[in-house]
Structure 1
Amino acid sequence: MIPDTQADGTPGDEPLREPIDARLRSIDAGNYRRSVRSALEEFATVVCEDGDIQAVDDITKHDCRYYAQYLRDRANRDGDQFSARTAHKNYAFVRASFTWWQRDDRIATNPAQWRGATDELPEITSDPDRQFWTRQDRTAILRHVDQQVDAVLNEGDDPLPAFRDRAIVYVLALSGVRGAEVFRDPADDRREGLRWSDVDLDGGILRVFGKTRTYQSAPLPTDARSRLRRYKQVLDPEEGWPVFPSLHRPSLYRTVREGLADELPEQRIEELLDEGGPLAVMRKYDLIPPALSVRGARTVMKRLCEAADLDIDGEYLKPHGARRGLGHQLYTEGQAELAQEALRHQSVETTHQAYHDVQAEATARRVDEILSWE
């Protein structure tokens, strides 16, 4: 495997090190960058093994076919946890990198687009994980989080966790946002979690950093808006706070202690924490609590589903399943354009492709109705 770039940024001796590094520097998203790095390093190892490749423009379409064959053989190998779908993803990362090198005037054409190469990739026979919240699932989890809030108000417990969890579920269920658009992604510096400054409760709009890595307006329907407004009253946040902070107490206490270490004596910091708790200290001293991470949001959903006794084929209601569930319901009710707008797809064709299974089921029903002789 090609080693990482040296600390001073100087490429290594390998012929593809510099173009690979240039490609990786062009990618902002941390998770995507790591996936592309892994695919490109594997590709370089495979095609450079005979020593004929000295530069990226030495790579031919036949080299790309050889790599596709390598991926196919690896996917078919017993005991290797490498699926046909992963093979296609890795090849797509390499193909996209060639497109970038072409735009960067490093190569004249993209050899990875050759049909003779892509035909060598393994056949995908398994369906991807396409969980979506059904109408019944959505109703059940929304009812549960409403009941949680009622319970804490009646029992006099700390209301903040229940109000925050309810707001999370309502926003996921009704707005069509992706988890990475509202929760913090530790692997991506630009995804720090939705901030209150990006929420327009009067207009019913969330300003989110979308999949296209541009800011987009996501709808906030009335029920989600009302729960978010009530939650905001309980949280009493500063404008720059994340909408969904982590409530992990060690993390909150650590944020206060580290944030005030240069301003106050340690004893005074502890006194403040004892008097009002970490969030009160953060409000007073303009500190920002850590945002709930994508992984933390999944943990919240898992906990809520267990408490609500919701079992989705042995799983829990995943955050992205809420988005798919919203689109699925709108699409099945004949509102493809509305689904496109709610999910912020670039075109309605993207929406049709995302819900092709729904379209196929509807077509089958219409055929049955026409052919039925009863």
Structure 2
Amino acid sequence: MKMGLLVFIRNVLLALCLFLVLGFLYYSAWKLHLLRWEDSKYDKLGFLLKLDSKLPSELASKYANISEGVCKPGYASAIMTAIFPKFSKPAPMFLDDSFKKWARIRDFVPPFGIKGQDNLIKAILSATKDYRLTPALDSLSCRRCVIVGNGGILANKSLGMKIDDYDIVIRLNSAPVKGFEKDVGGKTTMRITYPEGAIQKPEQYEKDSLFVLAGFKWQDFKWLKYIVYKEKVSASDGFWKSVATHVPREPHEIRILNPYFIQEAAFSFIGLPFNNGVMGRGNIPTLGSVAITMVLHNCDEVAVAGFGYDMNSPNAPLHYYENIKMSAIKESWTHNIQREKEFLRKLVKARVITDLTSGI
């Protein structure tokens, strides 16, 4: 009798164990399927695959009562996070005197970091002393920013007044303003450039704007030190073309762009080859994409103008300020224009940024 009871209990326990094992396997398979389904919602970089121009419901309700034309606090970063959950907003525009503490850039050489540049950067910052925007712009509770590209698509669009209406107007390299105000505006908050791209004639600089260096190589930081301390620029310092020897700016009007934006644009947003974290073929983002990355972290609303190259129109102007045609574009050794287009189109489609000239 006792033996039969023990056999019965043993069989019940075995059946229970089998049931638990099967249940665990079923649950695990379901979870794995769910995770795979979740992963399939995103591309290999982490962007949402199905992008929609309609705002997510929670954001639509959040901004529903804000009138048209009124700045929407946190708008660009909120949508960016919705389509790219890995996005983390905190990242200062410019390097300050705590730059050595920032782990994200400490271990990378230029252009993706500051490794090996400590002494030069320290010398520059000790002279410039200012590491932020102007007090008036820093005090704004909501900032609307526009990046003005150099594309020929800006010509004859009469967007000047609209561009000047933004709180922060960012221009790139040596693209002129004087004589083109009707199309590109007359306001400049900052001009981001590097030695070979900087305006070479001092009289062509606009008044009251910040001069911002994007350091792509170690020579760029050395050049900026010459400029800040008004020393003689050496032409034999490894530049690939002639560079500006004088910038009509006082030290407090000069900044160093946080190289994290070059790193993030290249590897996180565009998906360019990592190449062990050093400059190589096709892994440098254009200054336009770098500037967009910067403002996503530091502006509430973001617009661009003069972006995009229409290769199907070889006779269209390449830049708004000269007669060179689109057909003059050659394959770039450093940039991957097609990958950048894909990145920018994601931002436009999801309404993270507004494309004023519809060139992207």
TM-score, normalised to structure 2, is 0.22
> Which structure shows the higher strand fraction?
2
TM-score, normalised to structure 1, is 0.21
> Which structure shows the higher helix fraction?
1
Q: Relative contact order (C-alpha < 8 Å, sep 6+): which is higher?
A: 2
